[in-house]
Structure 1
Amino acid sequence: MLKFDEELFLNLVEKEGLAFRGQIEEIVDGITKRGYSNIFLIGAGGTIAMMYPYEYILKSNSTIDVHAEIAAEFMVMNHKHFSKDSVCIFTSVSGTTQETVAAAEYCKEKGATTIALVAEPNTPLTQIADYCITTGSETHSFDTFFMLLYMVVFRFMHNNNEFPQYEQFTNEVSLLPRAILDAVKSFDKKAEEFAITHKDTDYHMMVGSGNLWGNTYSYAMCILEEMQWIQAKSIHAAEFFHGTLELVVEDTSVILIKGEDETRPLMDRVERFVEKISKNITVIDTKSFEMEGISEEFRKHFSVSINWSVLSRISVYLERERNHPLTLRRYYRQMEY
């Protein structure tokens, strides 16, 4: 596969990522023992999008009070649920994201407990957080962060007496890297075909829902817009019929991000509508991937990782077909703003 080193992927995500299980459980168990009032999932750009699936998971499976907040807005909004008893979780590949670092400093100054997942060691965020897990590599960092967040979030749920399946679930987290690898292999040809077909497409609608809404939002904004300079709009399936549907015409590219949680019927409804109008529909459905060894009840949660990994294959081929490196920027970190 183009730009995909299987051995490196398994080494970083399977071996090293899973090695943090004990540390995560020690951190979460200690926080639970001391007591906390709520959980804040805080990020900017791709990292706030990464938090949305876990906010959804907690809201739909737990009574733990949870808030996913955009770092810069959180800093100015005087959030009335935030206090010294809050647990604030951050992720950052570089450990230098301005808004995330500032929010972590703010939370720590207010006495809240801070946890950070960071790829790069010895960076500002690693030095601020009360607890920091440093993965040590930017390569496949999002795949690793997703896995670590599963263990963090479901450990909190387990300690809240809401997830007795924790041991089985976490054992199946260990199977996820192989399931991801199988998924990207099976999807790779479709990813290449999409990139070839759409190398000159100048606008995409991306529709998602539930725990895949974050991936939908992130891919439209961070990949298509930021990394490929393609106009894109992320639309929640529950809101699609309140405005955006009027923009669908015969040649509109509509990308449907389908998962396996409770909101799937919302996506089915959008699909039924757009297939009547557009001849340019792409459906990326986690149900089409085997996920060997993963229990049926857990597939909906692991769909987040599977979906992200296959979307990433599209990125690689768009980069090639459009001769537009994913690292190319006009403005981001190129100038002061």
Structure 2
Amino acid sequence: MPFTAVEPIPLAADLVSTLEHTVAQAEKARAFAREVVAEGVTKIFLIGCGGSFYSTFPALDLIETSTVELVAAKMTSAELIHRRLAGLDSTSLVVASSHSGATAETLQAAQIARKAGARVAAIARAGDSPLAEVAEVLFDYPSNVTVTEPKAIHFTQIALALLEAVGDVADADERWQAISAIPSAIPAAKAAVADLGRSVARRWSDADLVYVLGAGPNFGAANALAACYLQEMNWLHASAVHAGDFFHGPFEMLGQRPVLVLVGEDQTRPIAERAVTFVNRYYEDVDVLDSRDFALPGVPDAQRGLISPLVVASLSRRLLDFVAAERGHDTAARRYMYRVDY
């Protein structure tokens, strides 16, 4: 397929207002976190399906690298249903995400959690949903287009609020300041990713397979890009590979096809940088999405590691708009999802 440099799908008109609505719920997250910690919650389960599940990665990384007071885990909603967890009890908090608020597995998992005595918080588009009725508190975002960012932001706000509640955040004010800057930082980064968007549109438009590498909190974005944005919404073959496992088999094959490496500013950056060094030396069809290349207005330099996974996730979603426009593909088209029983 020849490359024609088609203009990308425009940014969502409600991007800024949705981000503002999302970050404005920080105080709700802090109040809820103080309440559940005071009542003895020590175990955190972050759950969802598809993109909702991939949105949990930054929050889990934040908790795991910041405290010993809380034990956290992420899993698909179906895993919570079928793997009856020994630690799911009144000392647990389940944060369940579903855009529609009606995803069957997530709803059932939330119901099981409540029955086990766990506290349940929901992340969904709106309050008129079954999930919101099961949960004790809802963190919402009023958009059917701006979806990737709010879910990851809400998970991160809840994680930060829990860390603050157990006393393991020395720079809480600066971290909340960084989150409050997201409605300015993310749109600026999306506007600046155009050159990369055109590059991947050229490389991927007729590719038989695309590989996406990432590590740590950015591996969620790698999976979302491969599974949700390329496979589901572009009908392109794609695979996410953990940058840490890249040198344990995958690097023998990936160079035959387009590769994108996601690089953040968190503690796992050296893992991604090692992959970048290799692919630039030996491969031809290579692109790199590095959060360090983007100005993030209002985000303190010391907090770029906190915000960069959210930026990487958002920019990964933006790449979809360039690829879909170049291929002329309707991103709402589905063969099976919502069309057959499954």
How far did 1:13 drift? 1.0
Q: Greater CA deviation, 192-201 or 150-159?
A: 192-201
Structure 2, unpaired ranges of 5+? 1-6
Distance in 2 (CA, whole Å) between partners of 1:49 and 1:224 is 14
How far did 1:208 drift? 0.4
What pairs up with 1:51-70 in 2 under 5 angstroms?
51-63=56-68, 64-70=70-76
Of residues 190, 208, 217, the one that matches 2:223 is 217
Distance in 1 (CA, whole Å) between partners of 2:44 and 2:91 is 9
What pairs up with 1:301-316 in 2 under 5 angstroms?
301-316=306-321
Distance in 2 (CA, whole Å) between partners of 1:176 and 1:121 is 23
- 1:45 correspondence with 2:50: yes
Of residues 280, 289, 297, the one that matches 1:292 is 297
- TM-score for both structures, normalised by structure 1: 0.94
| SS of equivalent to 2:173 | helix
| SS of equivalent to 2:274 | helix
Of residues 306, 323, 335, the one that matches 2:328 is 323
The corresponding residue for 2:81 is: 75
Of residues 159, 173, 179, the one that matches 2:165 is 159
Distance in 1 (CA, whole Å) between partners of 2:107 and 2:11 is 31
The corresponding residue for 1:243 is: 249
Distance in 1 (CA, whole Å) between partners of 2:11 and 2:233 is 21
Distance in 1 (CA, whole Å) between partners of 2:240 and 2:41 is 34
Distance in 2 (CA, whole Å) between partners of 1:28 and 1:258 is 30
Of residues 104, 120, 123, the one that matches 1:114 is 120
Distance in 2 (CA, whole Å) between partners of 1:32 and 1:52 is 22
Letter in structure 1 aligned against 2:144: E
Q: Alpha-carbon deviations, 1:217-271, whole Å to 9, x = none?
A: 111111111111211111111111112112133x421110011112111112212
Letter in structure 1 aligned against 2:98: S
| SS of equivalent to 1:271 | helix
Pick closer, same or farther for the CA change 1:168–1:18 going to 2, 3 Å. Answer: same
| SS of equivalent to 1:93 | coil
What pairs up with 1:131-146 in 2 under 5 angstroms?
131-146=137-152
How far did 1:5 drift? 4.9
Of residues 192, 195, 201, the one that matches 1:189 is 195
- 1:332 correspondence with 2:340: no
Q: Greater CA deviation, 39-48 or 313-322?
A: 313-322
Q: Kindly report structure 1 stretches of 4+ aligned residues shifted beyond 3 Å.
A: 1-7
Q: Alpha-carbon deviations, 1:6-27, whole Å to 9, x = none?
A: 762221212x223222222221
| SS of equivalent to 1:133 | strand
The corresponding residue for 2:3 is: none
**Is the Cα–Cα contact under 8 Å of residues 40 and 87 in structure 1 kept in the other structure?**
yes
Cα RMSD, aligned residues only:
1.6
**Is the Cα–Cα contact under 8 Å of residues 211 and 301 in structure 1 kept in the other structure?**
no
The corresponding residue for 1:30 is: 35
Distance in 2 (CA, whole Å) between partners of 1:175 and 1:112 is 33
Distance in 2 (CA, whole Å) between partners of 1:166 and 1:199 is 44
Across the two proteins, how many residue pairs are aligned to each other? 335
Q: Greater CA deviation, 16-25 or 311-320?
A: 16-25
- TM-score for both structures, normalised by structure 2: 0.93
Letter in structure 2 aligned against 1:255: L
How far did 1:42 drift? 0.9
Distance in 2 (CA, whole Å) between partners of 1:134 and 1:271 is 37
Of residues 279, 285, 297, the one that matches 1:274 is 279
Of residues 172, 177, 183, the one that matches 1:171 is 177
How far did 1:102 drift? 1.0
Distance in 1 (CA, whole Å) between partners of 2:128 and 2:183 is 27
Structure 1, unpaired ranges of 5+? none
Letter in structure 2 aligned against 1:277: Y
Letter in structure 2 aligned against 1:269: R
Pick closer, same or farther for the CA change 1:190–1:241 going to 2, 3 Å. Answer: closer
Q: Percent identity?
A: 24
| SS of equivalent to 2:222 | helix
Letter in structure 1 aligned against 2:258: S
How far did 1:296 drift? 2.2
How far did 1:298 drift? 1.2
How far did 1:186 drift? 1.0
